[in-house]
Amino acid sequence: MRMHRNQVRAGLIAAVTAAALTGTVTVASADDTAPVSEDAHTFNPAEEGLFELQAPSDTDGGIQTRNFASSLSGWAPGSKESRHWADNDYTEVQFTGCTMAGAAGKSVGVKLWQAIPFAQDKDMGTKTFTNCFKGSGYTSKGEWNAHYNGGDNRYFTIAHLNGSQYTRAVVSVKKVYVDTTKAD
């Protein structure tokens, strides 16, 4: 029995040592009050704000692999980011049918980012969309023609609603379309 306990103890010590060397040790107690960070989490394919990139279809022309359509539901300024897509020169983002809960919908600020591995992502600027609030068939469009070295993936966030980044309002968008080809 004592030998079995020593083997278990040795195995636990080895596991804790390995975890410490890889940086995966977490110590917690019932008294911990530190806030939880959302920048490190387990991937969930059903998570709101993640979009499926669709493969092109040979039969109907399909969508180019870097162009995609989706929707948003309940996004607040800075609360979520879109899926990342490969792009390096031109990006167009379209919102069709915007609605807002918690405030009268007037405008949404769409901020484009260029992901830079192992460095701070680059802010590529914010476009303010207003037309999409005129009805379900109305579209707002923003275009970005910039490039930063060191990264080739982009994504967008909501920077502000009705001109404010500090609001309890959230925006939903019936159709979000991302286009990476200026030719069309």
How far is Cα 74 from Cα 18, in angstroms, rounded to an integer? Answer: 41
Nearest partner of 159 among 184, 132, 128, judged by Cα: 128
**What CATH number does the domain containing 93 carry?**
2.60.120
In degrees to the nearest 10, what's the CA dihedral of 12, 18, 20, 24?
Answer: -100
Does 107 fall in a domain?
yes
pLDDT at 42: 35
Residue 56 within any structural domain of the chain: no
Each residue's pLDDT tens digit, 18-31: 444 444 434 333 33
Q: Is residue 57 part of a domain?
A: no
Structure token pair of residue 122:
């680059």
Q: Please give the residue range of the domain that contains residue 127.
A: 68-179
- Residue whose pair of structure tokens reads 């966030």 in the numeric block: 157
In DSSP notation, 149-164 reads TT--EEEEEEEEETTB
Tell whether 132 is covered by a domain.
Answer: yes
| Inside any domain, residue 155 | yes
Give tens-digit pLDDT for 88-112: 788 999 999 999 999 999 999 999 9
Q: How many domains does the chain have?
A: 1
User: What does the H/E/C string look like for 68-124?
Assistant: EEEEEEEECCCCCECCCEECCCCEEEEEEEEEEECCCCCCEEEEEEEECCCCCCEEE
110 alpha-carbon distance from chain centroid: 12
What per-residue confidence (pLDDT) applies to 16? 47
Q: Which residues of the chain have pLDDT under 70?
A: 1-66, 183-184
